[in-house]
Chains A and B, each alone.
Chain A
Amino acid sequence: MKQDIILAGVGGQGILTIAAIIGQAAIDNGLNMKQAEVHGMSQRGGDVQSHLRISDMDIHSDLIAEGDCDMILSVEPMEALRYKPYLSVEGWLITNKKPFINIPNYPDMEALENEIRSLPRQVLLDADQIAKDLGNVRAMNIVMLGAASKYLKIPYESFEVALEKVFGRKGAAVVEMNINALAAGKAFSEK
């Protein structure tokens, strides 16, 4: 079993939290994992990405090669497409619909959606709205993880356990809110 995932977004949108939860769940399942992150200058409102690799075999490279990525999980629609060359023919693109506009030349939303919908395997959802309906827009990243969970080769319950580990010190209410966000994302994918 191996799964190569590219997490995408804009600096500050919480992709490293998604990475930490998937990584924790992978380790709890006895899998190997490697996860390359971006720190430094790009974090200032620029595009950020994280290469996350999980496998039951040894993992060598910290980077995913072009055309090898099994899943692009993005919290921003344009950023999802930035990594399209990495996506394998059978790969899934799972992205938040809500744009993060901090540049003057942000593309037309319809053109973006068309490009995304042209892929054979994609899931497009308004995770901001779903998180808002649950009472905390900041849980948007966990909604996205929930939406992706259906296609991740790790049991769903492991993500709940990992959420408790990662958010536990912030209190039971935060954990519960995130578990609900995870479930809401999952429910969207299973519709």
Chain B
Amino acid sequence: MKKQMLLGDEALAQGAVDAGCSGVFAYPGTPSTEIMEYVQKCPEAIERNIHRTWASNEKTAVEAAVGMSYTGKRTMSCMKHVGLNVAADPFMNSAFVGANGGHIVTVADDPGMHSSQNEQDSRFYAKFAMIPCLEPSNQQECYDMAFHAYELSEKFHLPVMMRLETRLSHSRSGVERREMLPENELKLPEDRNQFMLLPAFARRKYKHLIAIQPELEAAAENSPFNWVEDGKDKSLGIIACGLAYNYVKEVTTRYKCDYPILKMSQYPLPVGMIKKFMDSCDYILVVEEGQPLVEEMLKGAIPRDNRIKGRLDGTFTRDGEMNPNKVAVALGKEKSTEIIIPDVVAGRPPALCVGCPHIDSYKALNEVLKSFVEDGQRHVFSDIGCYTLGFLPPYNAINTCLDMGASITMAKGASDAGLFPTIAVIGDSTFSHSGMTGLLDCIYDKTNLVIIILDNSTTGMTGGQDYTGFGKLEAICIGLGVEKEHIRVITPLSRHFEENVAIMKEEIEYNGVSVIIPRRECVQTMTRRMRSLKKQEAK
């Protein structure tokens, strides 16, 4: 079969579809977004009509995937690393109830924080939940591992984590496809207790999960994705995990280093394989993308083995992304050099687009706050999305960004402490993801605050995906108990500036919960929509 050029995300998506997946559940998040986007356009997925619409958030996505697994069908939930925090509750418990149809939990980490608020290594979650974890090193493995993951998941009746990173998710290479498998038939759990976590059952399930760990380890020992490449120079052995394997091979090939390499792509840690490998080499270099999971496990709390090098002993930096240069330095082949960009080059940070509706909203907000607080004394709680860029000059409009939905709840806490005026700024998709429950808290306590839901009618930062609450914002707010007269929809345009400032002022002065919805379509999605309209007209 001819090779297709696919991103790691796309290769995994195609792999899951070809392996008989009946439904994908996800919320957008860089670098995982392209998995669902690919499934939505994939001819085979459309032909089979597998589930492929966005979920409200990662928690609802994982729960829906567990439900699909309940019916015996193969399924996949996808998210970025911080999305797994949102989905942690169903994720952890899904290891207890297990899987009926195969369930892949795909998590795309973002080492180096290219587009994220933190750097966390999802392999720790897989270990925490005691489920198998697969860590592909290239696009072909992303594809092949989907088949392998479903086999593992159905063999051990457990969800399986697929861990990707930015450089794999967003890197393209040739991928060879296999023949498509049929979807599973609907087959409900034979054991009525399987998906029931009353404590009496949960205790038994935990014992079972512990009991099968040796089997999971044996599966990793025999995995087609874990192997040892022998080398003549046994002064050093390299344990190369997932994506880091590429950097190791790049450097060892170039400098003709003949060290043994253990390539690690399936967990739990195959201890027997590692022990044998370590016994055969003088020193061990652990190269892993993200946090030092393998290195910490090999060292233990009280290190007795001083032969292990990695992120913990300073051989590599403790944070940040791996790259070929770091590996070459660790192997003593290159000097560590600081990248020196010519002086004449200025920084070009991301910024709100020209014509972005958020700019007009922030201008009005900045103006109205002048009449309440002195310059520099203003505090606005905000959230995660394009509008987080409003922190930067020239807007300097917001003060916080913690996690999805935290604008409303942090503002509530500050209002409870007596801060006035208290403003929360959240995007429409973020509100739909995690803002609604926080708003309900405010209603319950009659909190004095103003919530500004910036409605650009899309999930902007990740490239313009639709979201579940679209077109329902007022109805949601009314339903949660916001008084109708304190839900104010405004148009963020410069010609409405004074009117918008006046409305914001009124709502700040109202002692209670106010919601202001500045509504104007994202300029990026509008341009795309216009272009596709034009194309249709041309036809």
Contact = CB atoms under 8 A, between A and B. Distances in A.
B253 interface: yes
B188 interface: no
Interface string A25-48: 001000011111111111111110
A81 B341 contact: yes
Contacts of A61: 246-247, 249-250, 323-324
Interface in B455-474: 461-463
Contact of B253 (A60, A79, A108): A60
A84 B341 contact: yes
A73 to B, nearest CB: 17
A44 B460 CA distance: 10
A45 B341 contact: no
Contact of A40 (B115, B339, B345, B354): B115
Contact of B247 (A19, A60, A82): A60
B350 A44 contact: yes
Contacts of B33: 39
Contacts of B115: 39-42
B171 A36 contact: yes
Where chain B touches its partner, the secondary structure class is: loop
B393 to A, nearest CB: 9
Contact of A42 (B114, B246, B247): B114
A41 B350 contact: yes
A119 to B, nearest CB: 10
A9 to B, nearest CB: 10
A65 B324 contact: yes
A23 to B, nearest CB: 6
A20 B31 CA distance: 19
A36 B30 contact: no
Contacts of A46: 348-351
A32 B5 CA distance: 10
B330 interface: no
Interface in A94-135: 102-103, 105-108, 111-112, 115
Interface residues of A, number: 45
Contact of B171 (A24, A37, A78, A79): A37
Given A44-B386, A115-B344, A62 B168 contact: yes
Interface string B148-179: 00000000000000000001101111100000
Contacts of A107: 344-346
A81 B344 contact: yes
A11 B350 contact: yes
A60 B341 contact: no
B341 A103 contact: no
Given A41-B350, A103-B348, A23 B341 contact: no
Nearest to B461: A41
Contacts of A47: 348
A180 B246 CA distance: 39
Interface in A60-95: 60-63, 65-66, 78-79, 81-82, 84-85
A35 B173 contact: yes
A82 B34 contact: no
A38 B323 CA distance: 16
A58 to B, nearest CB: 8
A181 interface: no
A81 B342 contact: yes
Nearest to A82: B345
B325 interface: yes
Interface in B107-136: 114-115
A35 to B, nearest CB: 4
B389 interface: yes
B3 A27 contact: yes
A15 interface: no
A70 to B, nearest CB: 15
B5 A41 contact: no
B308 interface: no
A62 B344 contact: no
Q: Which of B249, B345, B462 has the most CB of A within 10 A?
A: B345
B31 A27 contact: no
Contacts of B247: 60-61, 63
Contacts of B167: 36, 62-63
Contacts of B324: 61, 63, 65
Nearest to A171: B538
Nearest to A80: B345
A66 B350 CA distance: 24
Contacts of B350: 11, 41-46
B328 interface: yes
B212 interface: no
Contacts of A78: 344-346, 348
A39 to B, nearest CB: 5
A79 B344 CA distance: 11
A10 interface: yes
B246 A33 contact: no
Contacts of A103: 346-348
Contacts of A19: 172
B325 A37 contact: no
Contacts of B114: 38, 40-42
A39 B341 contact: no
B375 to A, nearest CB: 21
B371 interface: no
A81 to B, nearest CB: 5
Contacts of A41: 30, 114-115, 350, 461
9 contacts: A11-B350, A20-B5, A39-B30, A39-B115, A39-B463, A40-B114, A41-B30, A62-B171, A85-B337
Interface of B: 3, 5, 7, 30-31, 33-34, 114-115, 167-168, 170-174, 243, 245-247, 249-250, 253, 323-325, 328, 337, 339-342, 344-354, 386, 389, 461-463
Of all A-B residue pairs in the complex, the 3 with the closest CB atoms, nearest first, are A40-B115, A40-B30, A46-B350
Interface of A: 10-11, 19-20, 23-24, 27, 32-47, 59-63, 65-66, 78-79, 81-82, 84-85, 102-103, 105-108, 111-112, 115
Given A34-B171, A40-B115, A66-B325, 16 more contacts: A10-B348, A27-B3, A44-B350, A60-B250, A61-B246, A62-B168, A62-B171, A65-B324, A66-B339, A81-B342, A82-B345, A84-B341, A85-B337, A103-B348, A108-B344, A111-B344
